[in-house]
Amino acid sequence: MRVGKRTGVVLLLVSIALVVAVFAAANQASQTTITSNNDFFTLSIGSVPQINASNWTLVVDGLVDHPMNITYQQLLSMPNATEIASLRCVTGRSGTAYWTGVPMPYFLSLIGPKASALKMVFFCADGYSTSLTLSELNRNDILLCWGMNNVTLPANQGFPLKLVVPEDWGYKWAKWVTHIQLVDYDYKGYWESAGWADNAQISPVTDWRVHALLLSVAAVFGTFSAFSGMRNSRQAGVASRLPAIFAKKYHRYSSYAFYGMLFVVFLFWVAEVYASRGAVFYTLHGRLALLTVAFGFVGAITGSSMLKDPRRFVTVHWVANMSAYLLLLITIALGVALTLTT
In this structure, are 49 and 180 located in the same domain?
A: yes
In this structure, are 70 and 187 located in the same domain?
A: yes
In this structure, are 173 and 44 located in the same domain?
A: yes
User: Quick check: 185 pLDDT over 50?
Assistant: yes
Q: Which of 162, 194, 226 is the last residue of a domain?
A: 194
Stretch 164-179: mean pLDDT, rounded?
96
Out of 82-86, 214-218, 236-240, pick the least confident.
236-240
Stretch 264-289: mean pLDDT, rounded?
75
Task: Give the pLDDT confidence score for residue 98 in this predicted structure.
Answer: 97
Q: What is the pTM of this model?
A: 0.69
Q: Which of 141, 170, 194 is the last residue of a domain?
A: 194
In this structure, are 234 and 88 located in the same domain?
A: no
In this structure, are 165 and 213 located in the same domain?
A: no
Q: Which of 194, 214, 236 is the last residue of a domain?
A: 194
Which residue range is the domain that position 214 belongs to? 3-28+205-340
Task: Give the pLDDT confidence score for residue 342 in this predicted structure.
Answer: 42
Other Cβ atoms less than 10 A from the Cβ of 324: the count is 27
Other Cβ atoms less than 10 A from the Cβ of 203: the count is 9
In this structure, are 187 and 238 located in the same domain?
A: no
Examine residue 221 and state whether it is found in any structural domain, yes or no: yes
Task: Give the pLDDT confidence score for residue 2 in this predicted structure.
Answer: 46
Identify which of 148, 178, 149 has the alpha carbon closest to the alpha carbon of residue 161: 178
User: What is the number of structural domains in the chain?
Assistant: 2
More confident position, 175 or 14: 175
Cβ-contact 84, 150 below 8 angstroms: no
More confident position, 30 or 217: 217
Task: Give the pLDDT confidence score for residue 143 in this predicted structure.
Answer: 97
Stretch 288-308: mean pLDDT, rounded?
85
Task: Give the pLDDT confidence score for residue 322 in this predicted structure.
Answer: 84
User: Quick check: 249 pLDDT over 60?
Assistant: yes
Q: CATH number for the domain including 90?
A: 3.90.420.10
More confident position, 152 or 328: 152
Stretch 247-273: mean pLDDT, rounded?
79
Kindly indicate the confidence band of residue 283, based on its pLDDT and cuts at 50, 70 and 90.
confident
Stretch 51-64: mean pLDDT, rounded?
97
In this structure, are 39 and 104 located in the same domain?
A: yes
Examine residue 199 and state whether it is found in any structural domain, yes or no: no
Task: Give the pLDDT confidence score for residue 18 in this predicted structure.
Answer: 62
More confident position, 279 or 59: 59
User: Quick check: 160 pLDDT over 50?
Assistant: yes
Kindly indicate the confidence band of residue 278, based on its pLDDT and cuts at 50, 70 and 90.
low
Q: Phi, psi at residue 180, to the nearest 5°?
A: -120, 130
- Range among 108-112, 215-219, 268-272 with highest mean pLDDT value: 108-112
More confident position, 215 or 25: 215
Q: What is the pLDDT of residues 15-34, one digit of tens each?
A: 666 655 655 555 555 556 89
Stretch 37-64: mean pLDDT, rounded?
95
Kindly indicate the confidence band of residue 238, based on its pLDDT and cuts at 50, 70 and 90.
very low
SS3 33: coil
The percentage of residues in the chain with a pLDDT greater than 70, rounded to a whole number, is 80
In this structure, are 116 and 66 located in the same domain?
A: yes
In this structure, are 59 and 185 located in the same domain?
A: yes
User: Quick check: 1 pLDDT over 60?
Assistant: no
Kindly indicate the confidence band of residue 250, based on its pLDDT and cuts at 50, 70 and 90.
confident
Stretch 130-135: mean pLDDT, rounded?
95
Task: Give the pLDDT confidence score for residue 312 in this predicted structure.
Answer: 78
DSSP string across 197-255? -S--B--TTT-HHHHHHHHHHHHHHHHHHHHHHHHTSTT-GGGGGS-GGG-HHHHHHHH
Examine residue 211 and state whether it is found in any structural domain, yes or no: yes
The amino acid that residue 202 corresponds to is I
